[in-house]
Amino acid sequence: MGLEGAVTIAGGAAPAWERVGELLTRSGFPAQVPMIDGQLAFPDEPPPASWAELRVGTPQGMVTARREPERVRLLTWGNADAAMRQAWNALAWAFAAAGDGLIEAPDGPQPAADFRRQAELPSALRGG
């Protein structure tokens, strides 16, 4: 079974992918965007500001980010094993941190810093 959830963004506008990707890279968690709005992308091609859907490649697998009004929905397909949950959590943290947003967690909305302290994350993101 896949995994689905969202990050509510302060001010309603999703942060630029460059900010999200930079947070992940600085934390030692590599992520690339091989598809932008259903089209193949070059490895270093930045998504346009108007992107609607990104396929984000991580070492654990692919996470889809869909822009919706005032939030970004994150989805994984297939089996959401521990590694895929960690990748989903890493992307949720990065979108929330870059966009001053709240992760829609089962026990209520959480800011990025709180989520990072308690979520199951890849080793590169733990403890920071």
Considering only CA atoms, give the Rg of the chain.
13
Residue 103 has pLDDT above 90, yes or no: yes
Q: For residue range 4-17, what is the model confidence (pLDDT) as tens digits?
A: 999 999 888 899 99
pLDDT digits (tens, 9 = 90+) for 51-63: 999 999 999 999 9
CA angle 48, 109, 57 (to 5 degrees): 40
What predicted TM-score, i.e. pTM, was given to this entire model?
Answer: 0.94
